[in-house]
């Protein structure tokens, strides 16, 4: 049996006359990864701030680890760990001192504190730079240290606010691995992200946030069914060539202005070869060929009828 780790209903928050959250309902099962997906300015950080007791909601209720976030802040804080949008590390301390600071603040005794610090340095592959000032760390290392600091208190529920924004692809993958291991240990993760692929990779359930409203909620597969899937885009030099190709590829959508055809495809090599073979059979050549996978932009376009740039305003 798994209960709710996080349950919110009707959360509202406004800054002045700008409504940031307009009635948010959430239910996160314990031991799962929940991802809040949305562009900049959608209200992701505000949601995290409310759920982590940093901000009071104007309306609605939220319970985290079974405790009310507005009246039982102490109990909530004891159960959670938060890694904010910007690595909240102390640049004038070394990596080890940062972790030791967390151990001291969590009131671990000195032997236990040393053990936890050493273990986390090893687990996050930071042993070599443990004695260096964090000011010299790369972005990826800072994020790792940030998350390691959150883990010192051994939280049951971890909030990760855009943990990979601004990281290079390799650091992102390392971060994903770390998150997967945490889930395997039974931790509940509340993850906000701007990237559909990140939510897709990690989350059991995804909620899409747009201008303070949840516009969709479901498993990654549920969501992907609502957006145009992976497709191949073919660009032709002339209208007759486009016409010819459109006659052959009957399931495609044409764009006369851009001289392109959009052909649904799973993006795999077998289907791509089949597609190219069919064009060859009919002696049609395309100027340009590209494979597109659905991105947050496509999800937004499908769910809200407008691209993310507009939503961010």
Partner 1 sequence: MSATPHSMVMLRRNFKHIARNPTSVFNAVLMPIVILLLFVYVYGDAFNVGVDYIDYATPGLILLAVCYGLGATATAVNSDMTKGIINRFKVMDVSRGAVLTGHVVASVLTNVVAIAALIGVAFLLGFSVSASFLDWLGVVGLVVLLGFATGWLTVALGLAAKSPETAGLAAVPLVMLPFFSSAIVPAEKMGPGVRQFAEYQPFTPIIESLRGFLTGAAATTDVIVAVAWCVAIALVGYLWASSTFKKRA
> Which positions lie near partner 1, rule CB under 8 A?
49, 52-55, 74, 77-78, 80-82, 84-90, 92-93, 97, 101-102, 104-110, 133, 149, 153
User: What minimum distance in Å lies between the beta carbon of 285 and partner 1?
Assistant: 54
> Could you give the CA distance from residue 180 to residue 159 in angstroms, rounded to a whole number?
14
CB-wise, 39 or 153, nearer to partner 1?
A: 153
CB-wise, 150 or 194, nearer to partner 1?
A: 150
CB-wise, 55 or 232, nearer to partner 1?
A: 55
Residue 208 host element (H or E): strand 205-210
User: What minimum distance in Å lies between the beta carbon of 108 and partner 1?
Assistant: 8
User: What minimum distance in Å lies between the beta carbon of 74 and partner 1?
Assistant: 6
Extract the tokens encoding 280: 């060859």
* Residue in 259, 237, 176, 191 with CA at minimum distance from that of residue 36: 191
User: What minimum distance in Å lies between the beta carbon of 85 and partner 1?
Assistant: 7
> Could you give the CA distance from residue 281 to residue 283 in angstroms, rounded to a whole number?
6
CB-wise, 175 or 196, nearer to partner 1?
A: 175
CB-wise, 45 or 265, nearer to partner 1?
A: 45
Residue 82 sits at the vertex; the CA angle it makes with 76 and 83, to the nearest 5 degrees, is 175
Q: Is 71 exposed, middle or buried (0-12, 13-18, 19+ CB in 10 A)?
A: exposed
Extract the tokens encoding 115: 């053990």
Answer whether 51's CB lies under 8 Å from 63's CB.
no
User: What minimum distance in Å lies between the beta carbon of 80 and partner 1?
Assistant: 7
CB-wise, 38 or 155, nearer to partner 1?
A: 155
CB-wise, 78 or 239, nearer to partner 1?
A: 78
Q: What residue spans of 157-228 are helical by DSSP H?
A: 169-184, 196-202, 220-225
* Dihedral over alpha carbons 195, 198, 204, 205 (to 10 degrees): 0
> Could you give the CA distance from residue 295 to residue 25 in angstroms, rounded to a whole number?
24
User: What minimum distance in Å lies between the beta carbon of 302 and partner 1?
Assistant: 33
Sign for the CA dihedral angle at 84, 313, 299, 30 comes to positive
User: What minimum distance in Å lies between the beta carbon of 49 and partner 1?
Assistant: 5
Extract the tokens encoding 203: 């989350």
Residue 16 CB coordination number (10 Å): 5
């Amino acid at each position: 049996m798994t209960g709710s780790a996080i349950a919110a209903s009707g959360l509202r928050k406004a800054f002045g006359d700008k409504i940031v959250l307009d009635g948010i309902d959430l239910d996160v099962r314990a031991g799962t990864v929940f991802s809040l997906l949305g562009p900049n300015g959608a209200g992701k950080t505000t949601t995290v701030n409310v759920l982590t007791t940093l901000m009071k909601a104007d309306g609605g209720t939220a319970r985290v680890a079974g405790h009310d976030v507005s009246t039982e802040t102490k109990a909530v804080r004891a159960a959670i760990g938060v890694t904010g949008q910007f690595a909240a590390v102390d640049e004038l301390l070394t990596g080890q001192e940062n972790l030791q600071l967390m151990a001291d603040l969590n009131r671990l005794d000195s032997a236990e504190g040393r053990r936890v610090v050493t273990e986390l340095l090893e687990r996050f592959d930071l042993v070599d730079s443990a004695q260096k000032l964090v000011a010299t760390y790369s972005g990826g290392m800072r994020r790792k240290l940030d998350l390691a600091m959150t883990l010192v208190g051994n939280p049951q529920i971890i909030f990760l606010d855009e943990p990979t924004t601004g990281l290079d692809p390799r650091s992102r993958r390392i971060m994903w691995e770390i998150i997967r291991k945490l889930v395997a240990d039974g931790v509940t993760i509340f993850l906000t992200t701007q990237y559909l692929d990140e939510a897709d990779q990690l989350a059991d359930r995804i909620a899409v946030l747009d201008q303070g409203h949840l516009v969709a909620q479901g498993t990654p597969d549920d969501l992907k069914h609502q957006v145009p899937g992976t497709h191949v885009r073919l660009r032709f030099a002339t209208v007759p060539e486009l016409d010819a190709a459109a006659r052959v590829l009957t399931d495609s959508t044409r764009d006369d202005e851009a001289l392109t055809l959009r052909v649904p495809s799973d993006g795999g090599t077998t289907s791509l070869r089949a597609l190219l073979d069919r064009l060859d059979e009919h002696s049609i050549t395309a100027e340009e060929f590209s494979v597109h996978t659905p991105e947050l932009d496509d999800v937004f376009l499908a769910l809200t009828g407008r691209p993310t740039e507009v939503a961010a305003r």
